[in-house]
Structure 1
Amino acid sequence: MRIQGVLVCLYFYLMFPTNIIGLWWAVGSPLVMDPNSICRKTRRLAGKQRAICRKEPEIVEEVAKGAKIALLECQYQFRYRRWNCTTAKRSISKILRRDIRESSFVYAVTAAGVVFAVTEACSTGHLLQCTCKNNIRDIATDGEWEWGGCGDNVEFGYQKSREFMDARKRKKRRGDVTTLIRLHNNEAGRLAVTRHMRKECKCHGLSGSCTLKTCWRKMPRFRHVGDRLKGKFDGSAKVISSNDGKHLLPEGDTIKPPTKEDLVYSQESPNFCKRSKRWGSLGTRGRECDPTSMGVGGCDLLCCGRGYSKTEVTVRENCKCQFRWCCDVICETCVSVRTVYRCS
């Protein structure tokens, strides 16, 4: 129940950031994952979003799946950081209100998640309005293989992600640096999928030989997308709006202008060491850390110099499992003691 509520909070904030608090309790039930409920709960849909809700409700279902994929990936990528992509409403809603590095990643990975979910639904036949991709035979090969099979129709996933994720923000006035930043990060997330397609092949021939090999294009694994966006987060650029309000420029003259695949932000992040209602920081007190690590996740950095405590935790788990015909698995219960370090 909790994870579904958080997903809808994330979804509605990304779509309609000015109205998230009022929507939180209204949509905090499992029913909101139904596309019809999502479309019915908000009256602030932009034209493209309204058209998709009316004509393609199954697309909205894939948008919700994409948000779930994105949230899980965010939590994986930030699991050792001071802000760990927590599902607490009082944190993520405040984070997404600001144009900081952490929000740039959330917007980008969510746009990527929507591309991924919609494209995957095309390839598996769950969406009637699209199919897999099989019209790239005119692209040159090295002569040892040829295009064939049925690749991922990532162009369709890109299109729907752009229509749904960018629709509201494209109606904002020109010169709004927040709009420019969020549109840029949305696009960076989509490009992390579309520009890094992989080739997958299958051999054909007698007795397992590979006299003929056909290949098709597949999306990168989403963990690889998350890794790529996390790298962009680590090297993200601080930007300002150009004088005409149409472009983003690096804040410093010596900084290289960001590419379309880079993440950008305009506000410095807090250190997230202490609890702060203003910033949505929950602090790191009580977080588990690794005293042997000198990097992110190590007790020195994660605990912000406050020190840490050591406790012994009893762990019970199945072990020495045996299969007995037919059809039982019999296991013993093993007890072990694990040392846990937590920030003070």
Structure 2
Amino acid sequence: MTPPTRTQLGVFFILLCPVNIIGLWWAVGSPLVMDPNSICRKTKWLAGKQAELCQSQPEIINEVIKGAKLGVRECHYQFRFRRWNCTSHNKYFGKVLQQDIRETAFVYAITAAGVTHAVTQACSMGNLLQCGCEATRSRAAPRPATSTSTEAVKWEWGGCGDDVEFGYEKSKQFMDGRRKKGKSDIRTLLDLHNNEAGRLAVRNYMRTECKCHGLSGSCTLRTCWRKMPHFREVGNRLLESFNGASKVMGGNDGKTLIPVGWNIKPPDKQDLIYSAESPDFCLPNRKTGSVGTRGRACNSTAPDTSGCDLLCCDRGYRDETVVYQENCLCRFHWCCMVQCKECSVRKQLSLCL
């Protein structure tokens, strides 16, 4: 059997709890053609609601995979300038997820958000039979907008709003499927909380879009619908939660989480939480999942996390000139071709020692 690729390891490790994910890696084929049926046939690695969803609605699993990949890409983007850059290297990524640290909280949250976003988007695109556009019959009418004329502009719900509630429920069903709420396990409580924070980063920030109708460009009637936030906005919001994450410990009853420190308010549902301090990720350490920062490109003038002082952990850096080819002087020729020349570009890089 062909060993799993790095892409497979990165995507599927965060779909399920780390303990039971290994078998699923080997069940999956090419990452370019991830057939959900091949995954669902290996249901002995799934349990409870996950197995039920796989058996009854395998097409949902395809969107779950897309959502997980969406979350992984966003994690790479948000952590691109940090010591831990969301690497999915198979020897290290699992070790990170076995710790109850900030980085783990973000991974679970961004994955739950990605699944919510992908499933909801599939509904709006008509790719799933179980759902479609958001139902608006039972919703209150939008507040009328004021107008410069004597009459207020009339509003009504229409168009194709995103059915985020369906995406939210499917994400909850799959991501929380192996976790039992109320179980006396701090890891379970942390994962459930951070999964929910990710889903709420999508559901709680729906925006209203409208289209005007009327003669001669007038806006006598507006048709409005609700759309999800762009996923980059979701990632930015969760990164803010990561920066302000709350450290907690388990209560005496084993079913509650208590903030660590005096005069600290209990975290709300949208906050990320963790229970252990993160390693510094400066040097390679297989035990903690750190690949180190040696050879990472840094900004020698930046004072933030992308700066060489912080990213290189005060070990110093070296400057290196890199020459690469890129398209340039592109011209459009009718019809329909773009022709470009190749130009050599020299770039000065600072690399961590």
Q: TM-score under structure 2 normalisation?
A: 0.92
Q: Which residue of 2 aligns with 1:262?
A: 271
Residues 332 and 89 (structure 1), Cα distance of their counterparts in 2 relative to 1, 3 Å cut: same
Instruction: Name whichever of 66-75 and 4-13 sits farther off.
Output: 4-13
CA distance in 2, matches of 1:212, 1:2: 59
Of 311, 317, 326, 1:302 maps to 311
* Contact preservation (8 Å) 1:316, 1:334: yes
CA distance in 1, matches of 2:164, 2:297: 39
Question: Shift of the alpha carbon at 1:7?
Answer: 4.1
The SS at the match of 2:21 is: helix
Question: Shift of the alpha carbon at 1:87?
Answer: 2.1
CA distance in 1, matches of 2:300, 2:284: 22
Give the partner amino acid of 1:93. Answer: G
Q: 1:273-299, CA deviations, whole angstroms, 9 ceiling, x for partnerless residues? A: 000010010000000000010101100
Unaligned runs of 5+ in 1: none
Of 327, 330, 333, 1:324 maps to 333
User: Does residue 151 of the first structure (1) align with residue 161 of the second (2)?
Assistant: yes
Of 161, 168, 179, 2:178 maps to 168
Question: Shift of the alpha carbon at 1:11?
Answer: 2.4
Q: Percent identity?
A: 59
* Contact preservation (8 Å) 1:205, 1:211: yes
Residues 235 and 2 (structure 1), Cα distance of their counterparts in 2 relative to 1, 3 Å cut: farther
Q: Which residue of 2 aligns with 1:191?
A: 200
* Contact preservation (8 Å) 2:176, 2:195: yes
CA distance in 2, matches of 1:327, 1:32: 31
Q: Which residue of 1 aligns with 2:150?
A: none
Instruction: Name whichever of 103-112 and 136-145 sits farther off.
Output: 136-145
CA distance in 2, matches of 1:321, 1:236: 47
Q: Which residue of 2 aligns with 1:18?
A: 19
* Contact preservation (8 Å) 2:318, 2:351: yes
Residues 246 and 82 (structure 1), Cα distance of their counterparts in 2 relative to 1, 3 Å cut: same
CA distance in 2, matches of 1:322, 1:14: 45
CA distance in 1, matches of 2:6, 2:296: 23
Instruction: Name whichever of 87-96 and 178-187 sits farther off.
Output: 87-96
Give the partner amino acid of 1:6. Answer: T
User: Does residue 182 of the first structure (1) align with residue 191 of the second (2)?
Assistant: yes
1:214-233 matched pairs, under 5 angstroms: 214-233=223-242
Question: Shift of the alpha carbon at 1:53?
Answer: 1.1
* Contact preservation (8 Å) 1:7, 1:71: no
Paired residues in the alignment total: 343
Q: TM-score under structure 1 normalisation?
A: 0.94
* Contact preservation (8 Å) 2:24, 2:39: no
Of 272, 275, 281, 1:272 maps to 281
Give the partner amino acid of 1:154. Answer: V
CA distance in 2, matches of 1:50, 1:77: 32
Q: Which residue of 2 aligns with 1:29?
A: 30
